[in-house]
Amino acid sequence: MEAFSSFFDSQNRRRWSYDSLKNFRQISPAVQNHLKRVYLTLCCALVASAFGAYLHMIWNIGGILTTLGSFGSMIWLLSTPPYQQSSKRLSLLFLSAVLQGASVGPLIKVAIDVDPSILITAFVGTAVAFVCFSVAAMLARRREYLYLGGLLSSALSILMWLQFASSIFGGSASVFKFELYFGLLIFVGYMVVDTQEIIEKAHLGDMDYVKHSLTLFTDFVAVFVRILIIMLKNSADKKEKKKKRRN
């Protein structure tokens, strides 16, 4: 927790102004162009994911098969040499995004059935968090938050073991709630670390924008799913409380 508190303390110590928000002098023009390609590709991947969710609404295709297909497409993409067959790698990225959207489709359908505004609020909240933390990572000194990577990896490992134990021995509502918020904190942290890592790799000559877009896409979906589940759970708790008061 000290690492996360130091992140926010360092942001408070830095004097923010409109001029500071335009200060990207630490990022070279080549890296800035690379980031533009990364975020443009990320936006296209999000559109493809939304299309996948729409396909689930029509044909109810989301499930374990689309999840496995999404992971398979990611592995295929990562195993393809960079700077070769860029159209193929882009196709694999968008295929993975479509299948990922279909996998999240059942959750999105539940949100639409409960209250469509929950879905919109969850997406907007994720987008705002993504933009804020990405900009913070860009404005920070180079490699300032890369040390968080080890901490986040350890936290993610703990979360995975906790979920594994819950699936075997069963988990309570409090454990599930802890997993949700703890996972949300982890992937929000990854937004910062992955953004700085992409910038640092680009400075070192790694301009693989497809792979970098996949990394940010994974972070975005992970945060979006957790925010959506949290909001659905809060909505269900409110309805239950209202029923108890009426009775």
**Whole-number Å distance between alpha carbons of 47 and 57:** 15
At residue 228, the pLDDT reads: 97
Higher pLDDT, 15 or 218: 218
**Whole-number Å distance between alpha carbons of 47 and 134:** 20
Helix 2-13 with 148-169: angle, nearest 10 deg:
140
- The pLDDT tens digits for 150-195 are 899 999 999 999 888 888 887 778 888 999 999 999 999 999 999 9
Q: What is the mean pLDDT of residues 48-74?
A: 96
Please state, in angstroms and as integers, the Cα–Cα distance from residue 129 to each residue in 61, 63, 75, 91, 126, following that order. Answer: 30, 28, 27, 28, 5
Has residue 84 got a pLDDT over 70? no
Instruction: Please report which confidence band the pLDDT of residue 10 belongs to, taking 50, 70 and 90 as the band edges.
Output: very low
Mean of the per-residue pLDDT values of the chain: 87
**Whole-number Å distance between alpha carbons of 118 and 115:** 6
Has residue 37 got a pLDDT over 70? yes
**Whole-number Å distance between alpha carbons of 62 and 67:** 8
At residue 7, the pLDDT reads: 44
Q: What is the mean pLDDT of residues 54-71?
A: 96
Here the tokens at position 244 are 């108890």
- The pLDDT tens digits for 43-54 are 999 999 999 999
Answer whether 229's CB lies under 8 Å from 107's CB.
Answer: yes
Task: Find the distance separating the first CA and the last CA of the chain, reported in whole Å.
Answer: 43
Has residue 247 got a pLDDT over 90? no
- The pLDDT tens digits for 134-148 are 998 888 877 678 778
**Whole-number Å distance between alpha carbons of 33 and 207:** 10
